[in-house]
Structure 1
Amino acid sequence: METMFRISNCSVENQIKFSTCTLLGNTLTWWNSHVKTVGNDIAYEMTWTKLKKKITNKYCPRTEIKKLKVKLWELKVKGNDVIGYNQRFQELALLCGRMFPKESDKIEKYVGGLPDMIHGSVVASKPKTMQEEMETAIEVMDKRICTFVDR
């Protein structure tokens, strides 16, 4: 949503209107009920940060976030599927954002889930960003697979 705010040059004053018009299903019902309870003026004066917190509290209870954190800590590459690992890692890392105060913390956790056969090569390349780390892991795995197939 924040990306959409930037792309569309959405002003801070219009962020709540913009974001709530994208709600669907139960979340839309929840929002409409909230507007009816507090009134239009008060509902739309809310900040994006406050709305995000309300939605998170309603739809992402702490118990569920804890389960996701456990999944993230236990996440490993299955077979040679680095791309699948990257996708799941990114999903979980977004949902558990507070686990990684610094980018280097996220990179360290990511590398810990890589298989031994590429771990050392990826670490040795010393990527500076998470994106570089993931791209390097894919490249190294592809080279390992190609080398193995060529034999």
Structure 2
Amino acid sequence: MVTKMVIEMGVRESGSRRIVHTARGCTYKEFLNCQPLNFKGTKGAVVLACWFEKMEYVFHISNCTVKCQVKYATCTLLYSALTWWNSHVWTVGHDAAYDMSWKDLIKMITEAYCLRNGIQKLESELCYLTVKGADVVGYA
């Protein structure tokens, strides 16, 4: 039983040696195979929120390392969003731009593409959502 649990956790005992297997991060191709959304910077707060949500899902299922999250996510930017990102890279430098955390990127993009009143409007709409009907179709 103990041996089985140790193997399931990624640790295998070989005689007196203990072999530990670490999860490897994904490649860019593996990341793209998970079909991340593109963000163009033209549709507002709802589309941006969907992009954040999908990107975090893709990070999880692709085993994307924290170090690669900003690099891979920014490769999905198009049009004005890509121009905005390239301007940032040019301003702070390539290394500094890609060393930021995913949370910092979320904050930066939100500040660039979501007016505060737009976010407050979405929050208000969410607070006042009501269910129309008692069946699944009505709920959806």
Give the corresponding residue for 2:131.
114
Letter in 1 for 2:80: N
Give the corresponding residue for 2:84.
30
Structure 2 residue runs without a partner (length 5+): 1-54
Letter in 2 for 1:45: D
User: How far, CA to CA, are the matches of 2:100 and 2:117 in structure 1?
Assistant: 26
**CA RMSD between the two structures:** 2.0
Structure with the higher fraction of residues in strand conformation: 2
The 3 A distance-change label for structure 1 pair 33 and 69 is same
Alignment of 1:69 onto 2:123:
yes
User: How far, CA to CA, are the matches of 1:140 and 1:17 in structure 2?
Assistant: 41
Q: In the TM superposition, what are the counterparts of 1:2-151 in structure 2 within 5 Å?
A: 2-75=56-129, 113-115=130-132, 118=133, 137-138=135-136
Instruction: Give aligned pairs, total.
Output: 85
Give the corresponding residue for 2:32.
none
Q: What TM-score, normalized by structure 2, do the two folds share?
A: 0.54
Question: Tell me, what secondary structure is at the counterpart of 1:23?
Answer: coil
The 3 A distance-change label for structure 1 pair 140 and 114 is closer
Give the ranges of 4+ consecutive aligned residues of structure 1 lying more than 2 Å apart after TM superposition: 69-75
Once the two structures are TM-superposed, the CA of residue 7 in structure 1 deviates from its matched residue by 1.4
Structure with the higher fraction of residues in helix conformation: 1
Give the corresponding residue for 1:93.
none
Structure 1 residue runs without a partner (length 5+): 76-112, 123-136, 142-151
Letter in 1 for 2:81: T
The 3 A distance-change label for structure 1 pair 58 and 139 is closer
The 3 A distance-change label for structure 1 pair 140 and 47 is closer
Once the two structures are TM-superposed, the CA of residue 140 in structure 1 deviates from its matched residue by 8.0
Question: Equivalent pairs: percent with the same residue?
Answer: 51
User: How far, CA to CA, are the matches of 1:73 and 1:65 in structure 2?
Assistant: 13
